[in-house]
C-alpha cells in the first residue's frame, strides 16, 4: 500500500498541535538526526519539546515575551523554537553570522527578555540581550535545553503542550542588504498553510528522507524542517553546507528531497565532476532551488546528474510561502523556460506595475506586486505593532522587477533598487550577470551602476575568476558584447578575489557602489 500524505488532513492551529498529532500517528518513526549524533523519534521530539516548554514556563516566560534564539542547525534549535512558542512567547530566530553590533540593533527592535544560544555565540548573545536571561543550548543527546538545569526542567510539570491563541509563531528578520534589517512576524496560519501546501503539492510521505542545511533563521529553513515534520518524513539536518558531504548524505541515507540554491548547486555539480566513483542518487525525487538567478546551462546539467525532478521556488519572507514555481514538468519545456521562475500559484494575485502603479503589458518589465491572504501582517515595530505594508488595494510591493511572457511565466529581472540608468536606457544588472556567468572562467559576478560624466551611470562588472584564469577585462567585455545589446555591455570590469557579502551570504552591492561614489568614469571600451 502506498504511503499516505497526511500533511494537511487536519488543519493545525499551531506547530505544537502538529507535533502532538505526529506523536500519536507515528511515535516510533525517526524524525530528525543532526551533526551532533543526536536523533529523535516523533515521540521523543514531542517529549523534549514539552520539557523545554515547561522549563521556560517555570521562568515566567509567556505571551508577549520575545526570546531570541541564536544557534546553528540542530535538534535542540528546533526543540527551543517550538518549546518557546508553546509557552505563548515568541522565538526570534537570529542569524548567527551577524556581528554583535548588528545583533544589538535587532535586540533594540524586539526587546527580548532572554536569549538561548550555542556556547560559541556567548558574546553575540550578550549583545542581543544585555540585561535578560542568557541560556546555553545543551546538545547532549536526550538533554533538552531549558532556562533551568536539566534536572529542574524534568521536575517541572510536563503537561500537554499548550495551544497559544496568538497569531504570531516566530519573528524572523531581513538580511539588511539595503540598510537596517527589519523584523518580520511569521504567523501560524500563514506558515502552517504554506508548509502544508508544499507537502501536498509534491506528494511528501512518511517514507521520504529530507537533506536540509538552510539555516533556521531563514523562512526557507523553517519551511523545509516543518514540511518534513508535517508529512512524517526523516530530516537529515546539517549545520552547514559541504558539497562532498551533500553527495555522501544523498547516497548513504537514500535522500528523496533536497534544496540547493544556485551557488551551492554549482559546487555540488563540481564535486560530482571531480569524482571518478560516482555516488548513487537513485532515490532523489526532487531538488529545489531558488533565492537567486540560476544559469540555465547549470540547471540542464543538474537535470542530467541528479536524474530527478527540479523545482524552482520564488517567494519572499513577507509572503510566508512560495509565490511562483517552475515545476519539474516545466523543466522539460524548451530551454527558455529554465530562465523563468515559473507561474504564480493559484493562491496569489501577481501584477507588474510601473513607477506610477499602472499595470504594464505582457513582455514589459515592472515591479512585482502580490496580493493574497497568506501575506504577512506587517513589519514588527518596537512597540510590537505591525506596520502597514500594502497599498490602498492590498498589494505588497516587493521591490523585485519581473516580466511575464505570453504563457504567464514570470521572469525575475532584478531588484528595483539595483536598476542602472545609462544614457537614458534602463539596464537590469541580473541580465548582464547572466551573460557574464556563461563565460567558462567566471565563478561569480556583481554588476552595478557607477557615476559617468558621459552616461550619467555606466555599467560596471565586478568579477571573480576561476583559479589560474588569464581572462582580462577586455576579454570579458568582448564576451558580453556577443550576448548583450550595446548599452547593456559593461563599460568597465573589475576583477577581485571575492565579493562582499552580508551575514546571510547575499552580495552587498551597496558596498561595491560606495567605493565608486563621487568618482565620475569615462569608458574602457
pLDDT tens digits for range 379-434: 887 666 667 688 888 899 988 889 999 999 999 887 777 878 887 677 878 889 98
More confident residue, 169 or 137: 169
Residues 41-69, mean pLDDT to the nearest whole number = 92
Strand partners, 170: 186
pLDDT tens digits for range 259-291: 998 878 988 999 999 999 999 999 999 999 987
Residues 176-197, mean pLDDT to the nearest whole number = 81
Per the prediction, the chain carries an average pLDDT of 86
Neighbours of 294 (CB within 10 A): 25
Q: What is the spatial distance between Cα 318 and Cα 103, in angstroms, rounded to a whole number?
A: 21
Measured CA to CA in angstroms, residue 127 lies from 97, 116, 174, 259 at distances of: 13, 12, 18, 32
Strand partners, 289: 312
State which fold the 11-26+35-189+198-213+226-238 domain adopts.
Rossmann fold (3.40.50)
- Same CATH topology for 11-26+35-189+198-213+226-238 and 419-514: the answer is no
For the question of whether the overall pTM of this predicted structure is more than 0.75, the answer is yes
Q: Evaluate if residue 180 carries a pLDDT over 70.
A: no
**436 touches 295 (CB < 8 A):** no
Q: Evaluate if residue 136 carries a pLDDT over 70.
A: yes
Strand partners, 351: 369
SS3 category, 370: strand
The CATH classification of domain 419-514, taken from the options 3.30.360.10, 3.30.428.10, 3.30.300.30, 3.30.1110.20: 3.30.300.30
Q: In this structure, what C-alpha cell is assigned to residue 139?
A: 546538545
Residue 468 falls in which region: left (phi positive, over 0), alpha (psi -120 to 50) or beta: left
For 2, counting Cβ atoms within 10 Å of its Cβ (0-12 exposed, 13-18 middle, 19+ buried), the class is exposed
Q: Please report the pLDDT score of residue 8 as a whole number.
A: 44
**Eight-class DSSP state of 276:** S
Helix (H) or strand (E) holding 33: strand 30-34
Q: Please report the pLDDT score of residue 151 as a whole number.
A: 36
Residues in the chain: 525
Sign of the C-alpha dihedral, residues 18, 23, 25, 28? positive
Domain residue extents for the chain: 11-26+35-189+198-213+226-238, 419-514
**95 touches 78 (CB < 8 A):** no
Q: Please report the pLDDT score of residue 524 as a whole number.
A: 45
Q: Please report the pLDDT score of residue 379 as a whole number.
A: 86
Q: pLDDT-based confidence at 242, cuts 50/70/90?
A: very high
Q: Please report the pLDDT score of residue 10 as a whole number.
A: 47
**32 touches 40 (CB < 8 A):** yes
pLDDT tens digits for range 425-481: 778 788 899 889 989 999 889 999 888 877 778 999 999 998 889 999 999 999 999
Q: In this structure, what C-alpha cell is assigned to residue 251?
A: 547516497
% the chain with pLDDT above 70:
87
Give me the phi and psi of 90, to 5 degrees please.
Answer: -110, 115
**89 touches 65 (CB < 8 A):** yes
**Eight-class DSSP state of 160:** P
- Residues of the chain by 3-state class (helix, strand, coil), percent to 5: 30, 25, 45
pLDDT tens digits for range 156-175: 444 445 445 568 899 998 76
Of 7, 24, 13, 22, nearest to 162 (Cα)? Answer: 13
Sign of the C-alpha dihedral, residues 180, 100, 185, 212? positive
Measured CA to CA in angstroms, residue 447 lies from 138, 459, 464, 491, 517 at distances of: 44, 7, 12, 11, 15
For 378, counting Cβ atoms within 10 Å of its Cβ (0-12 exposed, 13-18 middle, 19+ buried), the class is middle
* Dihedral angle, C-alpha 327, 328, 331, 333, nearest 10 °: -90
pLDDT tens digits for range 188-236: 989 999 999 999 999 999 999 999 999 999 999 999 999 999 999 999 9
Q: Evaluate if residue 523 carries a pLDDT over 70.
A: no
Crossing angle (nearest 10°) for helices 262-273 and 296-306: 50
Q: Evaluate if residue 377 carries a pLDDT over 70.
A: yes
pLDDT tens digits for range 287-322: 999 877 677 888 999 999 999 999 999 988 889 889
Our measurement of the distance from residue 85's CA atom to the centroid of its chain's CA atoms, rounded to an integer in Å, reads 21
Amino acid at each position: 500500500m502506498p504511503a499516505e500524505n497526511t500533511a494537511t488532513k487536519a488543519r493545525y492551529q499551531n506547530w505544537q498541535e502538529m507535533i502532538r498529532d505526529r506523536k500519536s500517528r507515528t511515535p516510533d518513526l525517526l524524525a530528525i538526526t543532526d551533526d551532533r549524533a543526536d536523533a529523535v523519534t516523533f515521540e521523543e521530539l514531542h517529549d523534549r519539546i514539552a520539557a523545554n516548554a515547561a522549563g521556560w514556563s517555570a521562568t515566567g516566560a509567556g505571551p508577549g515575551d520575545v526570546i531570541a534564539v541564536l544557534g546553528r542547525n540542530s535538534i535542540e534549535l528546533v526543540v527551543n523554537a517550538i518549546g518557546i512558542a508553546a509557552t505563548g512567547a515568541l522565538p526570534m530566530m537570529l542569524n548567527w553570522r551577524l556581528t554583535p553590533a548588528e545583533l544589538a540593533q535587532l535586540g533594540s527592535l524586539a526587546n527580548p527578555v532572554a536569549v538561548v544560544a550555542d556556547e560559541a555565540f556567548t558574546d553575540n548573545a550578550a549583545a542581543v540581550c544585555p540585561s535578560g536571561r542568557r541560556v546555553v543550548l545543551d546538545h547532549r543527546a536526550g538533554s533538552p535545553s531549558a532556562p533551568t538545569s536539566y534536572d529542574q526542567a524534568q521536575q517541572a510539570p510536563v503537561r500537554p503542550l499548550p495551544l497559544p491563541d496568538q497569531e504570531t509563531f516566530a519573528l524572523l528578520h531581513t538580511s539588511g542588504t539595503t540598510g537596517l534589517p527589519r523584523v518580520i512576524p511569521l504567523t501560524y496560519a500563514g506558515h502552517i498553510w504554506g508548509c502544508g501546501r508544499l507537502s501536498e503539492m509534491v506528494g511528501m510521505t512518511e517514507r521520504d528522507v529530507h537533506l536540509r542545511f538552510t539555516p533556521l533563521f531563514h523562512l526557507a529553513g523553517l519551511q523545509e524542517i516543518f514540511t518534513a515534520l508535517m508529512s512524517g518524513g526523516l530530516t537529515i539536518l546539517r549545520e552547514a553546507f559541504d558539497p562532498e558531504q551533500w553527495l555522501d548524505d544523498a547516497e548513504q541515507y537514500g535522500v528523496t528531497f533536497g534544496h540547493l540554491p544556485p551557488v551551492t548547486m554549482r559546487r555540488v555539480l563540481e564535486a560530482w565532476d571531480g569524482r571518478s566513483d560516482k555516488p548513487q542518487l537513485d532515490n532523489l525525487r526532487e531538488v529545489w532551488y531558488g533565492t537567486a538567478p540560476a544559469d540555465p546551462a547549470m540547471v540542464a546539467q543538474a537535470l542530467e546528474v541528479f536524474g530527478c525532478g527540479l523545482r524552482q521556488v520564488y517567494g519572499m519572507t513577507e509572503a510566508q510561502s512560495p509565490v511562483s514555481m517552475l515545476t519539474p514538468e516545466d523543466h522539460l519545456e524548451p530551454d527558455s523556460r529554465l530562465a523563468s521562475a515559473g507561474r504564480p500559484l493559484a493562491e496569489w494575485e501577481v501584477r507588474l506595475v510601473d513607477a506610477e502603479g499602472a499595470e504594464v503589458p505582457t513582455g514589459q518589465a515592472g515591479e512585482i506586486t502580490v496580493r493574497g491572504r497568506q501575506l504577512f501582517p506587517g513589519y514588527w515595530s518596537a512597540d510590537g505593532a505591525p506596520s502597514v505594508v500594502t497599498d490602498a488595494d492590498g498589494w505588497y510591493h516587493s521591490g523585485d522587477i519581473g516580466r511575464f511572457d505570453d504563457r504567464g511565466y514570470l521572469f525575475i529581472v532584478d531588484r528595483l533598487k539595483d536598476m542602472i540608468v545609462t544614457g537614458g536606457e534602463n539596464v537590469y544588472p541580473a541580465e548582464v550577470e547572466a551573460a557574464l556567468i556563461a563565460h567558462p572562467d567566471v565563478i561569480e559576478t556583481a554588476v552595478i551602476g557607477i557615476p559617468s560624466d558621459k552616461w550619467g551611470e555606466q555599467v560596471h562588472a565586478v568579477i571573480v575568476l576561476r583559479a589560474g584564469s588569464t581572462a582580462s577585462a577586455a576579454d570579458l567585455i568582448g564576451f558580453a558584447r556577443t550576448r548583450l545589446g550595446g548599452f547593456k555591455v559593461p563599460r568597465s570590469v573589475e576583477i577581485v578575489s571575492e565579493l562582499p557579502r552580508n551575514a546571510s551570504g547575499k552580495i552587498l552591492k551597496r558596498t561595491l557602489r560606495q567605493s565608486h561614489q563621487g568618482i565620475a568614469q569615462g569608458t574602457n571600451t
